[in-house]
Structure 1
C-alpha cells in the first residue's frame, strides 16, 4: 500500500512540474540594502518555444526595459539584461512562486518572485506635507510651442500677502537630470513638494511642473538637451507673468542639479528674471564634473585606487573624443568602439560580472553619443554665469558626491562676479548630500534609507534669501 501511494505521489509531482508555466507577470521586492526595498516586475512571454520579456522598476520610473535573454529548462529560469549587467537565476517552484538570485554590478541578492505584488511598508517621510494645506493649490497647464509640448503643473499660493503688497513673489522649480515629475520624486522622496510647501507657507508662490514627456506633460523627452529644457523653463516664466496673483517683476528660478545649470541659461538672456537659486548647481565644465563625480562615487563604493585611476583615464579619453567630434555621432561611435575594444582587451577586469565586452561597449557608446550627454560634456557653465545680472544664491552640501561642493560653489561665485554682478551668495552646509539630506558618507546608496527629504537648515536659508531679494 505504501509503495502504491509513493508511486501516485511521484506521478502527481511529475505532472505538477510539467504544468508549471514561467510566462506572465512576476513581482519581486529586491532588498538592495537593509531597509531599502526596490520593487521589480518581470513580464515573460513565449512564442513557438522562444522566451522573451521586459522588466519594470516602478520606483525608478523605468518601464519596459528589454530583457536580452530568457531561457527556461526543467523548471530553471534564467534572465539576463546585458546592458545593465543584470542576471536572475531562479527555480520555478509552482505557477505562483519562483525562488532565485538577482545579480548586478557585483551585488548578489536573494529574490523571490510571485504572481501578485507583495505590499511593502511605505518608507517614513516625515517632511512630506499632508492636506489640508494652509494655502491655495491650483492645477495649471502651459505650452512651449517651440517644443510642441504642453506642461502640466501645480501653483501653490500663500493666503497671506506680504504687508503692503497686492501681488506675490514667485519661484519656478527646475528639476535635475532625467525625466522628473513636478515633485522631483526619487526613491520615495519628493523634494520639490517639500520645498514648495515650505516656501508657500512663508509667503512665496511656487510653480512646479512635470518635465516634457513625463507624467501629465506632453512632448518628447528623449533627444532633448539642457538648452532645450531651458526653453521649457522660459515658457513657465512667460505663463507665470500672466497670473493675476503674481508680481511679474518678482519671479525667479530655483534649480536643482542640472536645474542649476538651466536656470542661469534663462537668466542670462531674460533680464526680467528677478533672481536664481542654484541648489547643488553646476559651476564646472561637464566633462570635468563627470570625472570628479565618477571618482567620488567609485571611492564611496569601495573601488581601489588603481581601478579609479583606470576609470578616469578612460573617461578623459572618451570625453575628449566627444568634444573633438561633437555632433558627428557616427564618427564618435567609430572612434569610441576602437578605443573601448582595445581598452577592454587589455583590462578585462573592467568588464562587470554578468556582462560581456560587446554589451559593455554597446552600453557605453549609447550613453556617450546621446544628444543630452554630448551636450553636457561640451558645456562649460562659466561663460553663461558671467552674463547673469540678477541676484544669485548657490547652496550645496559638503558631502555631495555628484556635484562637488567647494569647487562648484567657488566657480559659480567667481564667474558671476567676473561678469560684474556682485550680488552672489554661496553657502556650504556641513554633512548634506546631493539631495540636501543629512548624512555621514554622501553616497547615493543612502538616498532611499534616509528619512529626511530636504534639510530644514537649507530650506530656511533659501526662503529667507528669496524674501530678502523680493521685498
Structure 2
C-alpha cells in the first residue's frame, strides 16, 4: 500500500506539502507495535487528548482531537464497538514505519494502519475494512463496470529528468491512433500516481476508465512523495516545484509519445490540481484544454477555515478545544494574508515563499483569459471544495464564456464517489469508485474537442 502521510480526516488541504523526513534514532518494530497498541487503546477509552499528543505537527493540525473524536465516532457507529486485536504487523514504506493492527469490531473486521516517522510520531492514520487493506492480485480487485482491461494496455514511463525524475504509468488504448490524451495532476499532499486515499484510487479509476474509451492517460508520482528528502532543503519552494514543473514535463512526455495526437493533449487537475490548472494552461497555450475536478476557486487559507468549521459543526461545535483549534487556524490564515516578499519561516507547514507565490494568484481571473476549452466538474456533497463557495464562483466568473462547460453531480463527494447525507471524512476510508457518469462525461468531452 502507498497511502503514506495522508490522514483519515483530510481537513487541512496544504498540511502535508512539506512533510520531509527528519532524522533521529528510530524505534524497533516491537516498540512501534507497543506504541500503536497504546494509541488504539486511547481511542477505545475516549482519551483523544492523549492520542493527539502522539501525533507529529502536521497530524495535529490536520486531525486535532475534536476531529479525531468525530472520526472515531463515525467508525464505531458503522463497525460497532471495538472488541479485540486479531493480528499486528510492521513494515517499512517510503522512509516510514507502518503498523497495521487487524481489529475485530462488533460488526466488522477493521485494519488500523498507523504510520510513524523517524521520531516515532504518528504521521498518518487510516481505518479501512480489513479485506480492502490486504494485498490482492490485480485480477481479484474490484473494478467498476466502465473499465474494460482488454481495451487498453499500460507501460511504465518516466516523467521529467534528474534530479526530479518521476516514475509514471501510461494507459494506452489499443487500436489505431493517434489518440487524445490526458495528464492527471494531483490534489494536495504527497500523492502517489493513483491518488490513493484509504482503499480508493481516484486516478487509477480515471486512467482505466478513460483508456477504456479511447483516451490515453498519463499519471505519475508526485514530487513531494518521490523526492521528499531533497525538497526539505530547497530554497524558495512554491507550487512551481510542488506541481507545475512536473505537470509541464508530463505534457511534454505525452506530446513526444508515438500514438498520441500531439495537438490533443489535455490536463485534468483534481482539487489542488484543479485550482492550479488555469495557471498551468496560461503558461502553455498549446494545451488542448483543461478539466477541473473540484477545483478550488478561493484562497487555500479560506478553504482550510471553512473545512474546519464544517467538521466542527458536524461534531457539535460547542467544544472549547474545537474553538481553540479554529482560532489557531484563523491566526495562521491571517499570517498568510499578511505575508510579505522576502519573509522566511513557515505558515501552515509550508514555507513563506509558498504563500507569497500564491498571493496574487486568482484561478477564476486566470481562467477568464484562457481561450482553450474548459470543463469544470463538481460533486454536490463535497465539503472541501463546495458548491456555494467554489462552483458558484467559477460560474459567476466564466458563465458567459462559450469555451467553458459546467457540470455538477448530486450525491458525489470530493473524490467524485457516491454517498448519502452530509459528507464526512470517514467515507473516504470505505472502498468505492469514481462515478461512471463522471468518467463518461470526461471521455465524451475530450473526444468532442477538435484538434487545435
Between the aligned partners of 2:333 and 2:289, the Cα distance in structure 1 is 33
Give the 3 Å change call, closer, same or farther, for CA 212–57 of structure 1 in structure 2: farther
Structure 1: stretches of 5+ with no match in the other structure: 1-21, 44-53, 68-80, 87-103, 110-116, 334-364
Q: 1:326 to 1:454 in 2, by over 3 A?
A: farther
**Quick one: higher RCO (CA 8 Å, sep 6+), 1 or 2?**
2
**TM-score by structure 2 length?**
0.67
- In terms of mean alpha carbon deviation, does 303-312 or 263-272 score higher? 303-312
Cα distance per residue 1:58-104 (max 9 Å; x no partner): 8989552413xxxxxxxxxxxxx5x97x9xxxxxxxxxxxxxxxxx9
Q: Taking structure 1 as reference, are residues 455 and 301 closer, same or farther at Cα in structure 2, changes over 3 Å only? A: farther
Q: Which runs of 5+ in 2 are unaligned?
A: 1-26, 44-71, 101-111
Query: Matches of 1:429 and 1:327 in 2, distance apart?
Result: 40
Structural mapping, 1:30-429, within 5 Å: 33-34=75-76, 56=98, 62-67=115-120, 81=121, 121=134, 126-127=142-143, 133-144=150-161, 148-161=163-176, 166-212=177-223, 214-215=225-226, 220-222=230-232, 224-228=237-241, 229-304=243-318, 312-330=326-344, 367=349, 369=351, 371-372=353-354, 379-416=361-398, 421-429=401-409
Secondary structure in 1 aligned to 2:316? coil
Q: Secondary structure of 2:252's match? A: helix
Query: Rg larger in 1 or in 2?
Result: 1
Give the Cα separation in 2 of the matches to 1:235 and 1:209: 11
Match in the other structure for 1:17: none
How far apart, CA to CA, are the structure 2 residues paired with 1:65 and 1:288? 32
Structure 1 residues 457, 304: closer, same or farther in 2, change over 3 A?
A: farther
Residue pair 1:140, 1:153 contacting (<8 A) in 2 also: yes
Q: 1:390 to 1:370 in 2, by over 3 A?
A: same
Deviation at 1:437, TM superposition (A): 1.5
Distance between the aligned counterparts of 2:182 and 2:203, measured in 1?
Answer: 12
2:392 counterpart SS class: helix
Aligned residues: 356
* Counterparts of 1:40 and 1:386, CA distance in 2: 53
TM-score (norm 1): 0.64
Indicate conservation of the 8 Å contact 1:227/1:265, yes or no.
Answer: no
Alpha-carbon RMSD:
4.0
**Quick one: distance in 1 between partners of 2:218 and 2:378?**
22
